[in-house]
Structure 1
Amino acid sequence: MTMFHTKANILHRLPQVCFPASFGKAHSSRLVLGIETSCDETGAAVLDETGQILGESLHSQKEVHLRTGGIIPTVAQQLHRENIERVVHEALQRSNVDADQLSAVATTVKPGLALSLGIGLEFSQRFVRKHNKPFIPIHHMEAHALTVRMLQPVAFPFLVLLVSGGHSLLAVARGVDDFLLLGHTLDEAPGDTLDKVARRLSLIKHPQCSTLSGGQAIELLAKDGDRTRFRFRTPMGQTHNCCFSFAGLRNQVTMAIMKKEAEEGIRQGSLLSCVNDIAAATQHTIASHLAKRTHRAILFCKANSLLPERNPTLVLSGGVASNQYIRKALSIVTEMTGLHLLCPPAKFCTDNGVMIAWNGVERLREGKGILPPDVDVFYEPKAPLGADITAEVEAAAIRLPSVRMKILN
């Protein structure tokens, strides 16, 4: 497995630690507190070892960032600082669990916004030292990948597509901490692209979209749009790998918006008459790009026996996975290739404390990455997931058969 030599990899370098009985041996009452502050959601939850959610709390910063036109890291940091103690207290109170009853605390330490990660990690380290609890540092994308296993019995290995505001990647999940990275974003993430297009279209001024995130606004307006009115090129059509690129698409959309503004004689900041059509075309092109890269990943996995022959599974997770049009695009590919598509409910696709607590439960069960409370851990804003085999995927040069992406809203 590829090792990245950073401070956060203290997890990999630690010698075997002998824990007290409460740190290791399984018993039905083991409880994990999960804490999430990787971006703009302050989340906490308490789960038992079966995955039952005993109590949770979530503070969303969405409305604040909508007003400022995007996430400002210092603002996100301050909002985490103001809310984390209350959110953790609410999660414990709602679960009717005292800190002393916890078996461990799991917290996102990578990847994410540095200032946001720092608040969660600082709070968690104070907490575990005060209450003498084991600490489980969590990789945010690993948590997204494993959330589905909390909801239904999904055996390893399975293919996972993670798409969010900050990330997009394809990986084979072979174990709780064992991933093969097939593809990743080369520039910006799909959720970021959707948000930027929504801002350029000034959708916050649209009467139906004033309280929606950029991705939600695009999805809503696209339902009444004609995607064929604007023909955007699907990115990386001649590059035979599983990586993603969305910056070029955003430039195409921006040029189309500028052209229509000139035609309609309006300035930037005013609503175009064709916003629904631009939204539909943008959403379709993003969905097509995700579907094509995933199709190639499936063919690569089949050629290299990386997935089981019986009931192979694709898990779709992350905030953008809530988009129903994108789910339909992926379902076309999975039906064609014989995979079973699984996606957590929308509330578990977005960032939350539940997924972090569940990742902690999975690691606690297997005794992986469990640290004593006095070990210093460092956050890591950029952190790859698993062993990177993207070069092998590209070297395979798999060409895709033609697939008609006919998706009804």
Structure 2
Amino acid sequence: MSSIAKSVLQSVKHGRAAWLRNSSAYSGKQRFPRLVLGIETSCDDTGAAVVDEAGCVLGEALHCQKEVHLQTGGIIPVVAQQLHRENIEQVVQEALRASGVSVAELAAVATTVKPGLALSLGVGLQYSLSLVNRHQKPFIPIHHMEAHALTIRLTHHLDFPFLVLLISGGHCLLAVAQGVSDFLLLGQSMDIAPGDMLDKVARRLSLRKHPECHSMAGGKAIEHLAQTGNQELLTFRLPMQQYRNCDFSFSGLQNLVNNAIAQKEKEEGIQEGEILSCVKDVAAAVQHAVTVHIIQRTYRAMLFCIKNSILPSKNATLVVSGGVASNQYIRKGLQNLADANDFALLCPPPRLCTDNGVMIAWNGIERLRAGLGVLHSTAGIRYEPRAPLGIDISKRVEEESIKVPKLKKIRWLAS
């Protein structure tokens, strides 16, 4: 940890100590703010953090498996499981040491139990149950997507309700957050997620062989090359144009992209695995198509929520989170959409958009304060690789058949 980071963390701890000395909250009685340890192992990152009720991140640690999975061309569940097993003890202990907090001082342990890779979820749950049973601590099972959705309330003062777009390597959905565990699901991906698609396109383009991208994850490589590409070289038919709902689909678009790449390879007389001369243009066109698809479905969600008074007609908020929310091109397109419809756009900082222990700990704090899902017995608790978020009203959205006004031609790359 750098000297600056240590200084900041020390200031936070001093501030917390002063809060403890001076607080007269909670019915006039002086009391310690509750602390939650969050543990995240839903996919390929092992994360842990200690967060208090005031939203102070007292300590955090993260072990990223990116380099290993880059070598294999994608996440292999058994490899991810083994890496979680090898690192979870060290990551949790590092977060506790950084926070200066012992397990005895924790109010609860919060852990991702759904959705995610089964083998990865199992490691986090097994470790957490051992910890809470050994120290007799309450356990808070966390829905991964709920945690992503509520992270914004750690970084910004935001009241319910608000519209949430969660876009990542494994998920893509639109929902209204009405409360800590109260969500209305408006739409979700019917097949793969945008991050997964971008990673697969990057592999098809062999971007690991590109001198500018050899150490980048697939989606990041696409974004990087697209900055200097011409998005108009290729035009892809957008998915689900005939369906007036808020669902997404990326597998068909991926097939169109793969066919276009094969055609370009034929035109240039190169074999699969070699780098196209127009690779930057392909990256720009792909990123643009993904962005417009996301924007169109989000636009319909906005119109549906306003029409049905689910969100306020003025000063409504769109929250965008998940790993793909770090893509600046997509974020700029969503900012333009929000501005045009009088929505505020809020995104967590990039480090909290990807999977991490902080968001799990904060979700634990939110649930602890609301008295929701805090377990004093862990008998029968299981992980769930697949788990919906909230109440699914996507059929109602489709029945309303809201037509989205035609979007003006977008030239974010040039602006």
Same fold per superposition (TM over 0.5): yes
Select 2:152's aligned residue among 140, 144, 148. 148
Alignment of 1:225 with 2:214, yes or no, is no
Q: What amino acid sits opposite 2:158 in the alignment?
A: V
Query: 1:45: which partner in 2?
Result: 49
Any conservation in 1 of the 2:314–2:342 contact (CA below 8 Å)? no
TM-score (structure 2 length as normaliser): 0.91
Select 2:337's aligned residue among 333, 347, 350. 333
Cα–Cα, structure 1 residues 144 and 27, in superposed 2: closer, same or farther, change >3 Å?
A: farther
Q: CA deviation at 1:26?
A: 9.9
Deviations 1:144-183 (A, max 9, x none): 0000000111100000000000000000000000000000
Deviations 1:51-101 (A, max 9, x none): 100000000000000000000000000000000000000000000011100
Trace 1:208-223 onto structure 2 (pairs within 5 A). 208-223=212-227
Query: 1:54: which partner in 2?
Result: 58
Q: CA deviation at 1:28?
A: 3.7
Q: What amino acid sits opposite 1:188 in the alignment?
A: I
Alignment of 1:80 with 2:84, yes or no, is yes
Select 1:408's aligned residue among 397, 402, 413. 413
Q: What amino acid sits opposite 2:356 in the alignment?
A: N
Structure 2: how far apart are the matches of 1:138 and 1:152? 21
Q: CA deviation at 1:309?
A: 3.0
Trace 1:307-386 onto structure 2 (pairs within 5 A). 307-386=311-390
Query: 1:275: which partner in 2?
Result: 279
Structure 1: how far apart are the matches of 2:348 and 2:391? 25
Any conservation in 1 of the 2:33–2:54 contact (CA below 8 Å)? no
Alignment of 1:259 with 2:263, yes or no, is yes
Select 1:31's aligned residue among 13, 27, 35. 35
Q: What SS does structure 1 have at the residue aligned with 2:60?
A: strand
Structure 1: how far apart are the matches of 2:199 and 2:227? 17
Cα–Cα, structure 1 residues 26 and 153, in superposed 2: closer, same or farther, change >3 Å?
A: farther
Any conservation in 1 of the 2:171–2:193 contact (CA below 8 Å)? yes
Trace 1:124-163 onto structure 2 (pairs within 5 A). 124-163=128-167
Q: CA deviation at 1:125?
A: 0.3
| Stretch of structure 1 that moved more, 291-300 or 325-334 | 325-334
TM-score (structure 1 length as normaliser): 0.93
Query: 2:69: which partner in 1?
Result: 65
Superposition misfits of 4+ residues, deviation over 2 angstroms: 25-29, 373-376
Query: 2:249: which partner in 1?
Result: 245
Cα–Cα, structure 1 residues 374 and 327, in superposed 2: closer, same or farther, change >3 Å?
A: closer
Q: What SS does structure 2 have at the residue aligned with 1:271?
A: coil
Query: 2:295: which partner in 1?
Result: 291
Structure 2: how far apart are the matches of 1:373 and 1:122? 14
Structure 2: how far apart are the matches of 1:60 and 1:210? 17
Any conservation in 2 of the 1:172–1:180 contact (CA below 8 Å)? yes
Q: What SS does structure 2 have at the residue aligned with 1:107?
A: strand
Alignment of 1:176 with 2:180, yes or no, is yes
Any conservation in 2 of the 1:180–1:389 contact (CA below 8 Å)? yes
Q: CA deviation at 1:373?
A: 4.3
Query: 1:304: which partner in 2?
Result: 308
Q: CA deviation at 1:311?
A: 1.2
Q: CA deviation at 1:333?
A: 1.3
Structure 1: how far apart are the matches of 2:32 and 2:163? 30
Q: What SS does structure 1 have at the residue aligned with 2:151?
A: helix
Q: CA deviation at 1:27?
A: 4.1
Structure 2: how far apart are the matches of 1:215 and 1:70? 12
Q: What SS does structure 2 have at the residue aligned with 1:120?
A: helix
Cα–Cα, structure 1 residues 27 and 396, in superposed 2: closer, same or farther, change >3 Å?
A: farther
Cα–Cα, structure 1 residues 26 and 91, in superposed 2: closer, same or farther, change >3 Å?
A: farther
Select 1:118's aligned residue among 111, 119, 122. 122
Q: What amino acid sits opposite 1:407 in the alignment?
A: W
Structure 2: how far apart are the matches of 1:373 and 1:263? 64
Alignment of 1:105 with 2:109, yes or no, is yes
Structure 1: how far apart are the matches of 2:355 and 2:32? 27
Structure 1: how far apart are the matches of 2:172 and 2:210? 28
| Stretch of structure 1 that moved more, 249-258 or 328-337 | 328-337
The alignment yields a C-alpha RMSD, in angstroms, of 1.1
Structure 2: how far apart are the matches of 1:350 and 1:77? 19
Q: What SS does structure 2 have at the residue aligned with 1:181?
A: strand
Structure 2: how far apart are the matches of 1:138 and 1:115? 16
Structure 2: how far apart are the matches of 1:214 and 1:252? 18
Q: CA deviation at 1:204?
A: 0.5
Cα–Cα, structure 1 residues 308 and 204, in superposed 2: closer, same or farther, change >3 Å?
A: same
The count of corresponding residues between Structure 1 and Structure 2 is 385
